[in-house]
Amino acid sequence: MGGGSTPSNTSQTTSVKLPAWLEAASEQNFGKAQEAAAKPYESYTGNRVAGLSPDQEAAAAQIRGMQGQTGNALQGLGDASAQFGNWQPQQVTAGQLAGMDLSPYMNPYTGEVEANALKALESSRQGAQQGIQDQFLSSKAFGGSRQALQSSVTDSMTAQKAAETAAQLRQANYNQAVAGATGDITRGMEAQRLNQAAGLQGAQIGLTGLKQAGDLYTSGQRSDIADVGLLDTLGQQEQQRSQAGLDLQYQDWLEKQGYDKQQIEWMGQMLASSPGSQTTTVNTTGSAGGSKGSAAMGVLGGALSGAAAGSVIPVWGTAVGAVAGGLLGGLSSR
């Protein structure tokens, strides 16, 4: 068969060498990475949690101030209600005429009237007696039994009339006293009933007032609680804004802590993706056995070198580099 002889001993060496600028930049980037790794751990000293806002503290103070108010108010209302509940209405006592002193109700002028009436009767009696005497004198029968009988009858009738007049006057005075006392007793009982009714009405009004006071207190308490709730809601919004600010400060601190690492990683990516970032050299050594063998080795070496050089080109760079390197290797082996 035609063709050159095959080399008996052949060796191939592939070496990759970075450009001087890329090697210097890589060393510089690695030095920065060592400096970053040597930094000690730094704790975050800022606040991470927002405290209570002034409005929240004010709401909390108001809530604390409201503690016990309801119990005290209910205790006061309960005590007042108990007083009204134990209230005893005024007793109505019927007055009695028996054993009652009627002297204040007696007409103080009854005695004088009686005396005048009796005096008038006495004058009338004396006049009648004088008439009897004159009658019997004129008839010349003065001092007889008939005169004595008529005089006695006149005295008896006058005495009876005097007794009847005195009795009538005293009876009228007594009846007037009884009527006055009875009127006072009646009016006293009516006044007691009115006072009792007024007391009962007053107690009812008091209980109604207590209920209204309790309702007003409950309404006021609900209004206070609603105001505290609104104040607390406003405070929560303030706290959320403060918390957002603290979170932003912490995020900025984290970004600052990782900034040098990001820069190092970015530089490494830029260096790795730089065109011509590496040069691959394939050296083949051995005794030459013929031109065909030397050409084949040249093509192989060129392909390897081209593939290594083209690997820095995305997608088809390795294949294109291998083909171009093989062609150049074959030409150089002739």
Res 293: pLDDT: 43
330, two tokens: 């074959």
Residues contacting residue 312 through CB under 8 Å, at least 6 positions apart: 273, 274, 275, 276, 277, 278
**What does the pLDDT read at residue 286?**
57
Q: Is there a contact between 221 and 70 (Cβ–Cβ < 8 Å)?
A: yes
Please report the pLDDT score of residue 8 as a whole number: 53
Label each residue of 235-304 as H, E or C.
HHHHHHHHHHHHHHHHHHHHHHHCHHHHHHHHHHHHHHCCCCCCEEEEEEEECCCCHHHHHHHHHHHHHH
Separation in Å, CA 85 to CA 71, 80, 82, 199, 204:
20, 9, 5, 13, 10
Answer whether 279's CB lies under 8 Å from 288's CB. Answer: no
Nearest alpha carbon to residue 283 among 6, 22, 16, 19: 16
The residues that bridge with 15 in the sheet, in sequence order, are 281
Contact 87, 203 (CB under 8 A): yes
Q: What is the pLDDT of residue 312?
A: 42
Under 8 Å between Cβ of 200 and 21 = no
For residues 56 and 65, give the distance between their C-alpha atoms in angstroms, rounded to a whole number. Answer: 14
Cβ neighbours of 239 (radius 10 Å): 18
Residues of the chain where predicted confidence (pLDDT) is lower than 70: 1-9, 15-16, 136, 139-144, 275-334
Please choose, from the candidates 84, 93, 161, the residue with its C-alpha nearest in 3D space to the C-alpha of residue 122.
161
**Which of 310, 309, 293 has its CA nearest to residue 6?**
293
- Between the two ends of the chain, the Cα-to-Cα distance in Å is 20
- The whole-number pLDDT of residue 326 equals 43
Q: What is the DSSP string of 127-170?
A: HHHHHHHHHHHHTT-TTSHHHHHHHHHHHHHHHHHHHHHHHHHH
What is the rounded CA–CA span in Å between residue 236 and residue 210? 38
- Reported pTM: 0.43
